[in-house]
Structure 1
Amino acid sequence: EEQKFGVAVKEKLKQMKTNVDTLTMSATPIPRTLQFSLMGARDLTSLNTPPANRYPIITSVCAGGDDIVAEAVNFELSRNGQVFMINNRIEGLYELEAQVKRLVPDARVIVAHGQMPPEKLEKAIIDFANHDYDVLIATTIIESGIDMPNVNTIIVNNAQNFGLSELHQLRGRVGRSNRKAFCYLLVPPHIPLTPVARRRLQAIESFSDLGSGIHIAMQDLDIRGAGNLLGAEQSGFIADLGYETYQKILKEAVTELRTEEFSDLEQADRLDESQTDFVADCVIESDMELLLPADYVPTESERIALYQELDGIERELDLQAFKNRLTDRFGAIPPVTAELLRIPRLRSLARRLGIEKVALKQGRMYTYFVDESNKAYYQSEMFGKMLAYLTANPRRVQIRERNGKRSFAIADVTNVETAVAILSEIIA
């Protein structure tokens, strides 16, 4: 239950012994932890396979009312099952008890919460587990560690006041057998929800499949923001930027510190200079025709999805798999698409050479390098290779400098294939 521990507590645990390996298990990792995993600071393994004979929990967000409660409780009792009813405040538990007794007189109801004497609380839980009662009205004390396969309906009162991971944990208390389970999230009928509460409820309702905890955690990351890398804050300002932009800015900042402010340390620690990327990303511009034609991929939404997938490809194996899928689904790849599929390779080579931007225009390739403040790059082996190519091809290559930015203009580059061949020759 990592979400129950703050940063200060975790640091104390780590100080108990040096070189501690930490394994965190969570149904929905908190934003800070998930952010660490996504940026590579921690390893992440996702368990998506549910136990055998389990069904997704049918989740509904409803405006709270007597009809919903009566219908849910009566249905569960009709199949000899039991019901959890959750309220976030102890004061409201006994009102709910009176409501259930009024609506379903036959139901046997018991209340449990953390302020009860331990012996009384333990007896209430054991009696409910033994099916001496039909409805357990409780606070969130049941959200973990409770395994009662006969309970397959949960009603969460005032669901807008709960966190996303908390709702997911509560929902996980039902559906623990081969019966179909139901989760009702009740909200006040006449009180408008805040935008954040609405997004939380939409996320928990949408992701009801087994093994969807990671998707809920990603929604939580988007809603609350990522935690600060240094410091105790569990959430930050990612929601204002968007996750991809946040990651890009973070990577650029780390690269800038490594290659400029701490370039001496980086040079000393670097074992294989050729594997160091001096830029976080490379922008490609072109006046060539590079696209997925409408007569090749007919659906516009599908073309957009394929463009997005291609933009995220970095490894040669992934690119080959992408090509194979295109051929399998749409047939032989047309020339304009074949040129487009060479862009990831071009971008990868350019990034390794410290090129921020490549422009393929009017039969020339323009390569723009990082600014002159990045001394580590201009002393590197990669920039040396670019100079060696300039020296070997003086008639084909021109060096230019504008506003502290250096660039090469390489002639006779009429397609992406030629551009890839030139950069591969420089790196070799």
Structure 2
Amino acid sequence: LKKKVKNSLKKVAQDLIKLYSERNSIKRDPFTVDDEIITEFEKSFPYVETSDQMKAIIDIKKDLSSEKPMERVVCGDVGFGKTEVALRAVFIAVMNGKQAAVLTPTTVLSYQHTKNFRERLEPFGVKVENLSRLKSKKEIQILLNDLNEGKIDVIVGTHRILQDDVKFKNLGLLVIDEEHRFGVRAKEKIRQIKKDVDTIYMTATPIPRTLNMALSGLKDLSIIKTPPEGRVETKTYVSVFDQNVIKKAVEFELKRNGQVFFLHNRIQTIYDRAEWLKRLFPKANIGIAHGKMKPKQIEKVILDFIQGKTDILVSTSIIETGIDIPTANTLIVERADLFGLAQLYHLRGRVGRGSVQAYCYLLVPPEISKDAQKRLDAIMRLTRPGSGLKISVEDMQIRGAGNILGVEQSGHIKAVGYDFYIKLLQEAINEEKGQIKTEPIVQVDLDSYIPEEFIKDPSERMNIYMAVSKAVDTEEIEKIKDYLKRFYSGLPDVFNLYLDIEKLKRALKGTGITKAVIKKNTGSLYFDNQNPPEPDLLKELLKNLPIKRLYPDRLEFEVKDNIVNRLLSVLEMNC
């Protein structure tokens, strides 16, 4: 299976390297990224930039001031200021005489981006227009002519922008929001457009360190981890379904002139639930949105909510992504036990986008499954803004990887596991570049594992094995060991030995020792022909180990008590 996945990844690695070298060979005139008007625009931002936001902006300026077209991924949790980062790039492009296109997966999102872009850009004389199916044929025709003649600086829209009748006078920048939500055809069209155009991808999908490492030097990543100043965490409550809880929560929100999301995920009974709410709150305007409605109907309902014409939006999980309504700060989720962790996290991200205290009520039946309880416990713990980057939910990571790599590889990722897949990708990229790195091999004939009687839950044991396998160095394994000691009293010897062997694997890196074999009575350390161990390290090994013989290519020693520990202490001292 590993071989099969590795072979398929060679093609991915080749494509990535080819794309990278193609883009490297394209040149364009560098942009002016700092002048009086750009500085004035930056000062007009009404908030204080976070350090991560600032770093992303500096990265983008660096990209735009070079001769090479930019291809940068900006990753950050919902509401962490990715839009402002994109706005800075758009403004620079327009001030350099270029047009910019902002591509969104949904009409509602394109409407919101248009609103935000107009607020920030129009005071500086930048013309922003929206291209989506909310416009009439006549309006679209006028808009297309203006775009072709260069009368429009920034066009925001759905995949309608990718159609053949859309012609630009001088397109210089493409901003793509959540690319993984576009279809294959749209992605192909994006590839054709962006060949010599500066491109920014915005995504809220977590990009773990493993993927970041694999892609460093192939794609440029800016990760925004810090929440904006004044962002307060959403207060989250789990409760059995109770009319009084709902009444209090909704009344409180409506009294402070806010709006409420009420999530009822069954289309068959959604109208009954809306009627029930109407009886509870006769003065409130209630809207309904679900997946079986026509797209135009859904858009109208959601736009009414955005514009404040509706007080309570009763909907299915179609509100999961892409809606940003600062005045909606109470979310009530019915049957929260039926949602996955990633879904619950995204749903809760619909509220608490500003500095107003937001509330999320997760309503459940009296009896729920153990797994559902675990998910709810996790969502209660992960309340800090930015936890999205910490939730290593497999499906989110898979989507993230596919999105950034531009490949549909989820079958392979599921087969070998996300982290192992990325490790194989790293190897494939290194091989294609001719930088083959071999990891030291450790073979041990001693009992080393996590005993079943010590940790009975198999998924708990698997989680620990996975955490240890992901550790980059001996320090990380030591941290895991300290963490385990806090939760479990007295780690068994075989468990301690397993952790020490894992430390040994990391400690051997870069020492000139390619392989360590430890059997019942004899152990051997094999040397790298090209880069053998340094004389000082050899001296320490000879001094501290019960040596049997020293050969030109290896060292043999007796296996006595604590041999792994003794070997480790020599290597760590040498480091």
Q: TM-score range by the shorter chain?
A: 0.5 to 0.7
CA distance in structure 2 between the partners assigned to 1:143 and 1:25 by the alignment: 17
Structure 1 residue 55: deviation in Å? Answer: 0.5
Please name the residue that 1:397 is paired with: 550
CA distance in structure 2 between the partners assigned to 1:346 and 1:215 by the alignment: 27
Distance 1:43 1:205, change over 3 A: farther
Structure 1 residue 205: deviation in Å? Answer: 2.8
Please name the residue that 1:325 is paired with: none
* Partner of residue 278 from structure 2, selected from 91, 101, 107: 101
Q: Which amino acid aligns with 2:296?
A: P
- Comparing 163-172 and 68-77, the one that deviates more: 163-172
* Partner of residue 393 from structure 2, selected from 203, 207, 219: 219
Matched, 1:148 2:325: yes
Matched, 1:57 2:234: yes
Distance 1:387 1:168, change over 3 A: closer
SS of 1:40 mapped into structure 2: helix
* Partner of residue 366 from structure 1, selected from 506, 516, 524: 524
Contact 2:324 2:353 in 1 (8 A): yes
Please name the residue that 1:204 is paired with: 379
- Which residues of 2 match residues 139-218 of structure 1 at below 5 A? 139-190=316-367, 192-193=368-369, 195=371, 197-216=372-391, 218=392
CA distance in structure 1 between the partners assigned to 2:267 and 2:314 by the alignment: 10
Structure 1 residue 99: deviation in Å? Answer: 1.8
Please name the residue that 2:408 is paired with: 232
CA distance in structure 2 between the partners assigned to 1:360 and 1:423 by the alignment: 24
C-alpha distance after superposition, 1:229-251 (max 9, x if no partner): 9973536676x98766x469x55
Q: Which amino acid aligns with 1:367?
A: L
CA distance in structure 2 between the partners assigned to 1:421 and 1:69 by the alignment: 59
Contact 2:259 2:328 in 1 (8 A): yes
Matched, 1:110 2:260: no
SS of 1:348 mapped into structure 2: coil
TM-score normalised according to structure 1 size: 0.58
* Partner of residue 437 from structure 2, selected from 259, 277, 285: 277
SS of 1:153 mapped into structure 2: strand
CA distance in structure 1 between the partners assigned to 2:319 and 2:389 by the alignment: 22
TM-score normalised according to structure 2 size: 0.45
SS of 1:147 mapped into structure 2: coil
Contact 2:504 2:568 in 1 (8 A): no
Contact 1:345 1:420 in 2 (8 A): no
Matched, 1:46 2:192: no
Contact 2:441 2:505 in 1 (8 A): no
Q: Which amino acid aligns with 1:208?
A: T
* Partner of residue 85 from structure 1, selected from 262, 275, 287: 262
Identity of aligned residues (%): 33
Structure 1 residue 133: deviation in Å? Answer: 3.6
- Which residues of 2 match residues 379-394 of structure 1 at below 5 A? 382-384=528-530, 386=532
Distance 1:14 1:162, change over 3 A: farther
Distance 1:234 1:9, change over 3 A: farther
SS of 1:52 mapped into structure 2: coil
CA distance in structure 2 between the partners assigned to 1:176 and 1:204 by the alignment: 17
Distance 1:235 1:203, change over 3 A: farther
Matched, 1:354 2:520: no
CA distance in structure 2 between the partners assigned to 1:46 and 1:112 by the alignment: 33
Please name the residue that 1:409 is paired with: 555
Please name the residue that 1:290 is paired with: none
CA distance in structure 1 between the partners assigned to 2:550 and 2:180 by the alignment: 57
Q: Which amino acid aligns with 1:349?
A: G
SS of 2:410 mapped into structure 1: coil
CA distance in structure 1 between the partners assigned to 2:321 and 2:370 by the alignment: 27
SS of 1:25 mapped into structure 2: strand
Please name the residue that 2:66 is paired with: none
Contact 2:397 2:418 in 1 (8 A): no
Distance 1:45 1:286, change over 3 A: farther
Structure 1 residue 57: deviation in Å? Answer: 0.8
Count of residues in correspondence between the two structures: 337
Distance 1:223 1:118, change over 3 A: closer
Q: Alignment RMSD, CA only?
A: 5.3
Contact 1:349 1:423 in 2 (8 A): no
Structure 1 residue 37: deviation in Å? Answer: 1.6
Structure 1 residue 207: deviation in Å? Answer: 1.2
Structure 1 residue 182: deviation in Å? Answer: 0.8
Q: Which amino acid aligns with 1:234?
A: S
Contact 2:513 2:526 in 1 (8 A): no
Structure 1 residue 97: deviation in Å? Answer: 0.9
- Which residues of 2 match residues 233-248 of structure 1 at below 5 A? 233-234=409-410, 246=420
Structure 1 residue 74: deviation in Å? Answer: 2.2
Structure 1 residue 367: deviation in Å? Answer: 0.8
Distance 1:5 1:109, change over 3 A: same
Structure 1 residue 48: deviation in Å? Answer: 1.8
Structure 1 residue 94: deviation in Å? Answer: 1.1
Please name the residue that 1:404 is paired with: none
CA distance in structure 2 between the partners assigned to 1:199 and 1:345 by the alignment: 33
Structure 1 residue 152: deviation in Å? Answer: 0.9
CA distance in structure 2 between the partners assigned to 1:146 and 1:47 by the alignment: 19
CA distance in structure 2 between the partners assigned to 1:81 and 1:258 by the alignment: 51
SS of 2:238 mapped into structure 1: strand
CA distance in structure 1 between the partners assigned to 2:208 and 2:506 by the alignment: 29
